[in-house]
Amino acid sequence: MKKYIILFIVYVSILSAGVSTYVLLFSKDYVDEQKGEHLLEKVKASPSHDHTSKNESEHNFEPNEDLVQAFQNEKNIVAFLLVTLKQKDEQLFKETFMPEQYMNDLFKVSDTPHEDNVTKQFMRDISRNGTLEKIEVIKHKSKRFKESGTIKTRFIFEDKQRVNVLLRMKLLGTQHEIDDEIYYITTSVLDIVHQIDSQIK
């Protein structure tokens, strides 16, 4: 009887190890698109949000406590980015990036970025003309609430192309309350476009 109990324990241990290995190898950690949609709607409902602003450098939403907590999570930032691209929301797309870096990117492309619709072009380039389907998180290089960090993602498109994209992020105060630090993407938009273009077959 004791022999069968030992064999059973060994069998269960092997089975558990196999399941764990399968989960690690084959499970996909996709960002929560529904969460991104929820955040986008909350930002749009923010009292100070001006969706008609033509100032390419403005970051206009006023975060409440719930939004601050949500945007202190790197995966939520990636989900928010995905949804802004899918919904073609230019204002909220640019608000995911650090303002100074985004402005530098704009003026590297054009002296008149608003007139030349540079933000729209950025979005087309990153989404490959609206074919971005989902984003998978591969690896975090920092823990939540760290001042800065890098998250490795995989962008998956409708034509089954998959590209790895490194996104650097940094906690920054909003224009309303310096204590309300939230993550902004500090990776250059042009660098993101280059990462994508260089891997497309």
Model confidence pLDDT, tens digit, residues 80-114: 999 999 999 999 999 999 999 999 999 999 999 99
Place 119 in a pLDDT band, splitting at 50, 70 and 90: very high
> Whole-prediction pTM value?
0.79
User: Domain residues of the chain, as ranges?
Assistant: 1-28, 31-197
* CA–CA distance, 123 with 30 (Å, rounded to integer): 20
3-state secondary structure 49-118: CCCCCCCCCCCCCCCCHHHHHHCCCHHHHHHHHHHHHHCCCHHHHHCCECHHHHHHHHHHHCCCCCCCCH
Answer yes or no: CATH 3.40.50.2300 is held by domain 31-197. no
**pLDDT at res. 3:** 57
**pLDDT at res. 85:** 98
Residue 20 has pLDDT above 50, yes or no: no
Percent of the chain at pLDDT exceeding 70: 72
Choice between 142 and 23, residue whose per-residue pLDDT is larger: 142
**pLDDT at res. 4:** 54
**71 within 8 A of 36, measured Cβ to Cβ:** no
Specify the pairing of strand 132-140 against strand 162-173. Answer: unpaired
pLDDT tens sequence across 141-172? 555 547 888 999 999 999 999 999 999 999 88
